[in-house]
Amino acid sequence: MKTIKGPGIFLAQFAGDAAPFNTLGGMAQWAAGLGFAGVQIPTWDGRLFDLRAAAESQDYCDEVLGVVGAAGLEVTELSTHLQGQLVATHPAFDESFAAFAPAELAQDAKGRQAWAVQQLLWAAKASRRLGLVAHATFSGALAWPFFYPWPQRPAGLVDEAFAELGRRWLPILDAFEEAGVDACYELHPGEDLHDGATFERFLDAVGGHKRANILYDPSHMILQQMDYLGFLDIYHERVRAFHVKDAEFHATGRSGVYGGYQDWIDRPGRFRSLGDGQIDFSGIFSKMAQYDYPGWAVLEWECCLKHPEDGAAEGAGFIREKIIRVTERAFDDFAGAGADRGKNRRILGL
């Protein structure tokens, strides 16, 4: 068994224009001061990272590793959540997601999609240069406007959507295979890959590709009222990244899972800082240890109540306390006896 690495922190929600949040070095020093051991880097934030340079230059990647290492930290993964979203976008969301790409592509949906694919291809190469084995991303969505079956969906609509999603992602997954890196999709409402059933559909569409894996985030599962512990029993072999994020769900007489178009603070399901929600993290970390999860436990902070810097400061210690240092021997070894085939056969009456 392996002891989970961590705690790590996803920098996206904390980056800003004021020091120390406007440079990778500043954020690394800040995170180290809070007790984190690793940082997950959002590749779309030019204040922190140059994705193309990382894909093309080992010197640049060595510089990044040096900056992070100077704070005593490691890079856990790169993230292309925003770019992954644009690999597949239904036209209904073109304008909403246009800001995820360069401004000159604001009116060019096909250009944004091509840009996103190139970003993912660079991410595979950059991850390899940085010595990483997992990458965090979104799948994008073609079928999401039809997630609820009313009006009745035309026969074959969802099948065609997933077939197209597979066609778009297959060359990207092949690039990750060439790089020796797992592409880990965060299962998230708004993405075509948002639960186990949709992940299985996608796996079928990409021929069970070995690099198509999962970023496990239980907060999105409790908001969908899924069994997030049972999920690990089913899909643990594909879980290769982990966002440690809390959430709570309190159904009311007025609204439930769909949230009534309400703001986050008023929704029955909402994200919370670690320890303030309902997620059973002791159970999760136990299953991660049981199933030999090989990666990092990375805080992703999202909360509509608590200040982000307080959430980060509390999160490092929370994760550290939940990580199980796995045992190297069985608890009852003291009562064991060496292997003796003859004795075993006698005990069995053979």
What is the CATH classification number for the domain harbouring 255? 3.20.20.150
CA distance 190 to 184: 16
* Contacts of residue 224, Cβ cutoff 8 Å, sequence gap at least 6: 189, 194, 195, 257
Given a cut of 90, whether residue 53 has pLDDT beyond it is: yes
Q: Which band of pLDDT confidence, cut at 50, 70 and 90, is reported for residue 338?
A: confident
Q: Which segments of 16-156 does DSSP mark as H helices, in order?
A: 24-34, 51-56, 58-70, 81-87, 94-97, 109-129
Q: What is the mean pLDDT of residues 65-77?
A: 98
Pairing between β-strand 182-186 and β-strand 212-216 as defined by DSSP bridges: parallel
Given a cut of 70, whether residue 216 has pLDDT beyond it is: yes
Q: Which band of pLDDT confidence, cut at 50, 70 and 90, is reported for residue 334?
A: low
Does residue 58 contact residue 29 with C-beta atoms inside 8 Å? no
pTM of this prediction? 0.96
Over residues 252-306, the pLDDT tens digits come to 999 999 999 999 999 999 999 999 999 999 999 999 999 999 999 999 999 999 9
User: How many domains are contained in the chain?
Assistant: 1
With b for 16 or more beta-carbon neighbours within 10 A and e for fewer, the 213-247 pattern comes to bbbbbbbbbbbbebebeebbeebbebbbbbbbbbb
Q: What is the mean pLDDT of residues 103-119?
A: 97
Residues of the domain holding 195: 5-347
Given a cut of 90, whether residue 332 has pLDDT beyond it is: no
CA distance 54 to 181: 15
pLDDT for position 304: 94
Q: What tokens were used for 88? A: 């597949």
Q: Which band of pLDDT confidence, cut at 50, 70 and 90, is reported for residue 328?
A: confident
Q: What is the mean pLDDT of residues 89-110?
A: 97
Q: What is the mean pLDDT of residues 43-58?
A: 98
Does residue 185 contact residue 139 with C-beta atoms inside 8 Å? yes
pLDDT for position 1: 81
Over residues 134-169, the pLDDT tens digits come to 999 999 999 999 999 999 999 999 999 999 999 999
Given a cut of 70, whether residue 333 has pLDDT beyond it is: no
